[in-house]
Chains A and B, each alone.
Chain A
Amino acid sequence: MSTKRKVFAGISTTVVSLALSATAFAQSGRDYVYVVGSSTVYPFATVVAERFGRGSEFKTPKIESTGSGGGLKLFCDGVGVDHPDVANSSRAIKQSEFDTCAKNGVTAIVEVKIGYDGIVIANALESISMALSRRDIFMALAKEVPGDSEGELIANPYETWADVNSALPAVKIEVLGPPPTSGTRDAFVELAMEGGCKTVPWIKVLKSSDKNQYKAICHTIREDGAFVEAGENDNLIVQKLQANPNAFGIFGFSFLDQNKEKVKGATVDGIAPTFDAIADGDYPVSRPLYFYVKKAHVDVIPGLRGYLREFTSERAWGEEGYLSDRGLIPMPDEERSAVATNVRELTPLSLGNQ
């Protein structure tokens, strides 16, 4: 009997202590920086967090990979230790998100642009090198393409790249890309697809007259099997490209950089996706990356100010900083120093003026 009593006593103590430790957490606050957001910024933010944690007396920040939209939603939920201090984002914050933030009391937000990321269209190294234009990309991947007469839309009839542009090889169109939940997909659609879409004059006119239809035409990717949603795992796409010489993959520059003996990037509008071309802004499919900070949390959460300083230091985001080793394309010098000043002075973002 006594052993059984002990077992029950043990169990009940465990349960009670669990409950106690949970309440203890709620009272004591938080002694580490809490970051959420984009899976594209994640590889860069984690490197900064780790260096900061190891090189300071503070704990290493916790970084959750939730995607840009999910991260900003958590971020905008409110001010206080239960809510994240920083939200990483592979796009600028939207007006609607900014409004939600304001409604929940998150009024002073500091926007920090950290650099650029290129989106590449790559195939296996042994395959032919492709020279694409944004128009080719749109024509090959859109769900509906302009027909012969003006204003006419037809279901995408193109089967090979040569159908799209006779200068391209007669290889079946087969592109592996990220799913709609991904920030990379958003950026690809906006920069590459829309960029090509705009070259059709009557669609360009739509932009000012019927914005919704313009978006529907330019942003909808075909669903007949030529574009394959390959999930968020870019390593998997690289492996699939090696196995299938005809396939192309869409992913971030850092994966091309890490796998340059396996895959190569196609040129877009005549520009190859290289570090320098993206940094100079010549490569057309590149996007800025950001993170957002709650001003109210700075100097309340231990280490937050230090984390910001580390991220905006030359040794991190500079021309030869450790983030550039990971594939982050640095901003030009003046822009960096402007953002760094902003961060030091914690100048809040105001979207109303734009």
Chain B
Amino acid sequence: MSTELTTRQKVEAGLARRRRKEFTFRLVGMFATAVGILFLVIFFATLLGKGSSAFSQTFLQLNVEFNEDVLAPNGELDLIYADFDGLIRTALLNELPDVSGRGERRELYRLVSIGAGYQIQEMIAQNSELMGTTQSIWVPVSANVDMLMKGNIDASLDESLRPLSDWQIGWINKLDQAGRLDKKFNTALFTNGDSREPELAGIKGATMGSFFMLVVTIALSFPIGVAAAIYLEEFAPKNRWSDLIEVNINNLAAVPSIVFGLLGLAVFINWMALPRSAPLVGGLVLTLLTLPVIIIASRAAIKAVPPSIREAALGLGASQMQVVFHHVLPLAMPGMLTGAIIGMSRALGESAPLLMIGMIAFVVDVPGSFTDPSTALPVQIYLWADSPERAFAERTSAAIIVLLGFLLLMNLTAVIIRKRMERKW
């Protein structure tokens, strides 16, 4: 009965099943990719949806009279204690003359950010000739007014359910109709340090903190990492010890980052008595964190240099060190740089170890050196996310967008370096 099947027949019989299997597998793969992309889209959409409004801020135009009697009652201007807020109050009352009564006036004053007084202070500090003149200036409004203008506060709710009173909303509408309110680009977000007033809060302090940390990290981890990689690849004898070191380095790359924070706290702060919350210490901790990454990437780059190049150089009489520094290192450099940049971008996004060394702090002044107290971008995001004021929600998202922008830029640089300088053998 049984007829011998030829190989061809066997293949044809199984063909449908194989095609079906391949089709299912492709479908599963496509589905997995689609899910990944979907999450990414949701993530970016919510982030941009929430955060993009933080890049603008509502300003109020006021005609401020730089009244000498108010600023310098004794004939002498005290740049620190003069009543700058008083000028803003008078200007507001001039704008809305029918506001009367202490309670009503207090509510009116709250429409404008406390930053308005500091703005006047700065203007006078820069140009004392303004005294006695009247200037039309744009001052930031308080965060609640800004939230209302951006539609984040529902004015139709009952008065007890919203942070602005009926009076305040009435005044805001009046000012808006008179064209006195306008949304402008929120420069404060990029030029100010942290603040508890959302309309004055900025990421410059945190960005500078992150910058100083990365300078320390790259200055230490790149030379040390490359030197270690060169030694291990080119000079170290291959024995049980070098195996042990290799295993340890690979494991170190997988150690949770908070452990490095604890190490930093014990060694750099408690033992070496370096200051808390300083970018110097942050940079040292991040160096520990990025070293294994850089060593592994650098070793891979050195391994990729063909042995024929080494042999040729040795054959022409070069010493081992000349081989490494004249030939291997230049050829491996693109790979090493890529590894360093990937390591740096990991360091930039790291927050857990920084919490341990006191970088989770309220720092208003923008740090100017390696030992000034400062925070870092991821920590600033954490701090803002935890603030009760509503307006910090959109600023949190904005800070995340900026951080992602920096990370994207760094990774892009790594890709470009790899593409441009990579050599195929």
Contacts and interface: CB of A to CB of B under 8 A. Distances in A.
A64 B219 contact: no
9 contacts: A22-B275, A51-B114, A65-B360, A65-B361, A65-B383, A66-B358, A125-B161, A235-B388, A260-B162
A49 B362 contact: yes
B196 interface: yes
B343 interface: no
A49 B387 CA distance: 16
A42 B163 contact: no
Nearest to B281: A22
A207 interface: no
Interface string A258-302: 111100000000000000000000000000000000000000000
A333 interface: no
B301 interface: no
B254 interface: no
A108 to B, nearest CB: 23
B393 interface: yes
B303 interface: no
A57 B154 CA distance: 40
Given A62-B277, A62-B373, A235-B385, A259 B390 contact: yes
Given A14-B215, A18-B370, A21-B370, 13 more contacts: A11-B219, A21-B369, A24-B371, A55-B81, A56-B80, A64-B361, A65-B361, A232-B386, A233-B386, A235-B388, A254-B388, A258-B163, A261-B157
A63 B219 contact: no
A177 B274 CA distance: 37
A258 B361 contact: no
B386 A54 contact: no
A168 B10 CA distance: 73
A327 B361 contact: no
Contacts of B274: 22, 25
Contacts of A125: 161
B255 interface: no
A15 interface: yes
Contacts of A233: 385-386
- Enumerate the 9 nearest inter-chain pairs by beta-carbon distance, A residue then B residue, closest first: A60-B364, A63-B362, A261-B161, A64-B361, A46-B362, A25-B371, A62-B373, A14-B219, A258-B388
B386 to A, nearest CB: 5
B331 interface: no
A235 B114 CA distance: 25
Contact of B365 (A59, A82, A254): A59
B216 interface: yes
A155 to B, nearest CB: 34
A264 to B, nearest CB: 9
A8 B369 CA distance: 22
Interface in A142-168: none
Nearest to A26: B273
B266 to A, nearest CB: 14
B231 interface: no
Interface of A: 4, 8, 11, 14-15, 18, 21-22, 24-26, 32, 39, 42-43, 45-47, 49-51, 53-57, 59-60, 62-66, 82, 125, 232-235, 252, 254-255, 257-261, 320, 325-327
B160 interface: yes
B204 interface: no
A261 B370 contact: no
Nearest to A51: B114
B395 interface: no
Interface of B: 80-81, 106, 110, 114, 118, 153-154, 157, 160-163, 195-197, 215-216, 219-220, 223, 273-278, 280, 325, 358, 360-365, 369-371, 373, 383, 385-390, 393
A125 to B, nearest CB: 8
Nearest to B393: A235
B386 A25 contact: no
Contact of B216 (A18, A49, A64, A232): A18
Given A22-B274, A43-B196, A254-B388, A55 B362 contact: no
Contacts of B106: 320
Given A26-B273, A255-B388, A18 B219 contact: yes
A55 B385 contact: no
| Most B-side CB within 10 Å, residue of A4, A11, A66, A235 | A235
Given A22-B280, A260-B160, A261-B154, A64 B388 contact: no
Given A18-B216, A47-B196, A258-B163, A11 B223 contact: yes
| Most B-side CB within 10 Å, residue of A4, A22, A39, A252 | A22
B276 A64 contact: yes
Contact of A22 (B162, B365, B371, B386): B371
B403 to A, nearest CB: 18
Nearest to B364: A60
B393 to A, nearest CB: 7
Contact of B388 (A15, A22, A45, A234): A234
Nearest to A44: B196
A254 B365 CA distance: 26
B373 A32 contact: yes
A46 B196 contact: yes
A62 B80 contact: no
Contacts of B278: 25
A223 B239 CA distance: 52
Nearest to B326: A1
